[in-house]
């Protein structure tokens, strides 16, 4: 039991720190996931869950930082009993979320490890059950985890980790994630990722006499009843399946993915920040002079965007895109994305609006 207790202690501590770091790297993405849960719960359980949506960003940073802090506190064995109880409460909460997602098929990706590691709902639930068991075991085997440093030292470490975690999360919100795990990261070619890396292969699951059988070629025997078709190599499928740009005149996706384009992504005009719009307007003029085509892609309606663009003097053509896709492309609202023949050459938060020299440098650097 002593060995098991110490193994669980190390595993749980490291996993909580890893999970928290992945989430706090992208607090906006975690906030979006929380909003999904609040929306589902407001419809299925009680309407008051909708009132939590405005606090999603705060809860994103708070919960991510809490995972890191509790993981570190566990590893240094600071206030061990209290930390284990807090971890138990947290994992019970997470287990409920993942079970609800899996059983009712509501939120297909729990966001447990952000965009870095994708888990199915049932995989997420299984992971949480394993952690729940480990934490319960740790609660009953605390005698094998004696403190190895002064309480004051543990307190100082915990305070420092708390401050750093919150600062890291807030900086990522005010700029962009430190590490971009999404398909639209700098260097990726969007058209290539819209194609499968190799031909998809499927297996067919059919039923006969109450028994399921699998076939790689569809059987000619008509006594079988079709049940399901499953991809054998799903990892070979397109990494991007929903990138589309359009306006009232039709689809403009191919046009956007050709030549040098500076996309100004405005998720939603109602929530768009305008503090740096002057810098964006200056960049637009400089980009046009440099042969780079600026354009806006938004999920807002034409009427709403027309009003917005006149208020901020954003005199560029605008197109429409899916709101979820735009949030996936860049976490900033507005945000800037530089494309050359569909390859992402640069991404900037509106707080870091680049000069035209930086834009040209991004084109040159990524050509080398």
Task: Look at residue 46 in the predicted model and tell me its pLDDT.
Answer: 86
Looking at the fold, whether 118 and 16 belong to one and the same domain comes out as yes
Domain boundary among 189, 217, 236: 236
Give Cα 19 distance to the centre of its chain: 13
- Residue in 107, 99, 165 with CA at minimum distance from that of residue 132: 99
If asked whether residues 21 and 167 sit together in one domain, one would say: yes
334 preceded by cis ω (within 30°)? yes
32 assigned to some structural domain: yes
Q: Which residue has the tokens 């050709």?
A: 258
Q: What is the CATH number of the domain that holds 292?
A: 3.40.30.10
Domain annotation covers residue 197: no
Residue 57 lies in a domain: yes
Q: Provide the 10 A C-beta neighbour count for residue 306.
A: 13
In terms of domains, do 122 and 251 share one?
Answer: no
What integer pLDDT is reported at residue 134 of this predicted model?
A: 96
d(Cα 18, Cα 204) in Å, to the nearest integer? 38
Q: Mention every residue, 6+ apart, whose C-beta is less than 8 A from residue 122.
A: 102
Coil, strand or helix at 235: helix
CA 65 to CA 258: how far, in whole Å? 41
Can you tell me the distance from the alpha carbon of 256 to that of 319, in angstroms, rounded to the nearest whole number? Answer: 10
Does one domain contain both 213 and 339?
Answer: no
**Residue 150 and residue 209 in one domain:** no
* pTM for the model: 0.86
Q: Are residues 209 and 130 in the same domain?
A: no
165, 215: one domain: no
Per-residue pLDDT tens listing for the chain (368 residues): 899 999 999 999 999 999 999 999 999 999 998 998 888 888 888 888 889 999 999 999 999 999 999 999 999 999 999 999 999 999 998 898 888 888 887 777 766 776 778 788 888 899 999 999 999 999 999 999 988 889 999 999 999 999 999 999 999 999 999 999 999 999 999 999 999 888 888 899 999 888 999 998 888 888 899 988 988 887 788 999 999 999 999 999 999 999 999 999 999 999 999 999 999 999 999 999 999 999 999 999 999 999 999 999 999 999 999 999 999 999 999 999 999 999 999 999 999 999 999 999 999 875 54
Diameter of the chain measured on Cα atoms: 75
Q: Domain residues for 266?
A: 245-365
Q: In this structure, is residue 196 part of a structural domain?
A: no
Same domain, 261 and 220: no
190 in a domain, yes or no?
Answer: no
- In this structure, the answer to whether residues 60 and 129 fall within a common structural domain is yes
Is residue 6 domain-resident?
yes
Residue 154 lies in a domain: yes
Please tell me whether residues 165 and 288 are part of one structural domain.
no
Among 184, 210, 236, identify where a domain stops.
236
pLDDT attached to residue 274 = 94
**Does residue 183 sit within a domain?**
no
Instruction: At 96, list the tokens.
Output: 């409920």
> Per the structure, how many domains does the chain have?
3
Q: 38 with 145, same domain?
A: yes
Q: Are residues 2 and 141 in the same domain?
A: yes
């Amino acid at each position: 039991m002593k060995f098991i207790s110490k193994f669980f202690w190390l595993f749980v501590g490291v996993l909580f720190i890893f999970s928290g770091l992945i989430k706090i790297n992208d607090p906006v993405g975690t906030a979006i996931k929380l909003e999904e849960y609040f929306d589902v719960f407001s419809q299925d359980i009680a309407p008051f869950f909708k009132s939590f949506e405005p606090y999603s960003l705060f809860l994103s940073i708070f919960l991510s930082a809490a995972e890191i802090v509790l993981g570190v506190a566990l590893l240094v064995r600071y206030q061990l009993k209290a930390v284990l109880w807090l971890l138990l409460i947290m994992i019970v909460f997470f287990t409920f979320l993942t079970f609800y997602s899996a059983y009712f098929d509501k939120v297909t990706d729990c966001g447990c490890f952000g965009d870095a590691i994708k888990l199915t709902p049932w995989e997420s639930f299984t992971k949480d059950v394993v952690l729940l068991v480990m934490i319960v075991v740790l609660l009953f085997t605390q005698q094998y985890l004696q403190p190895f440093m002064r309480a004051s030292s543990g307190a100082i470490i915990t305070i420092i980790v708390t401050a750093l975690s919150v600062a890291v999360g807030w900086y990522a919100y005010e700029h962009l994630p430190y590490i971009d795990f999404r398909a639209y990261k700098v260097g990726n070619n969007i058209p290539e990722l819209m194609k499968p890396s190799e031909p998809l292969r499927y297996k067919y699951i059919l039923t006969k006499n109450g028994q399921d059988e699998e076939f790689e070629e569809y059987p000619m025997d008509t006594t079988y009843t079709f049940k399901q078709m499953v991809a054998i190599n799903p990892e070979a499928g397109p990494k991007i399946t929903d990138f589309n740009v359009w306006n009232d005149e039709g689809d403009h996706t191919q046009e956007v993915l050709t030549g040098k384009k500076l996309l100004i992504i405005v998720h939603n005009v109602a929530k768009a920040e305008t503090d740096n719009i002057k810098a964006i307007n200056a960049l637009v003029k400089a980009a046009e002079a440099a042969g780079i085509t600026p354009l806006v892609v938004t999920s807002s309606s034409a009427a709403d965007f027309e009003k917005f663009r006149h208020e901020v003097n954003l005199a560029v053509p605008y197109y429409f895109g899916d709101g979820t896709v735009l949030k996936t492309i860049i976490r900033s609202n507005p945000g800037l994305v530089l494309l050359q023949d569909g390859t992402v050459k640069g991404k900037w938060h509106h707080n870091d609006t680049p000069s035209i020299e930086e834009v040209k440098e991004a084109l040159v650097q990524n050509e080398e």
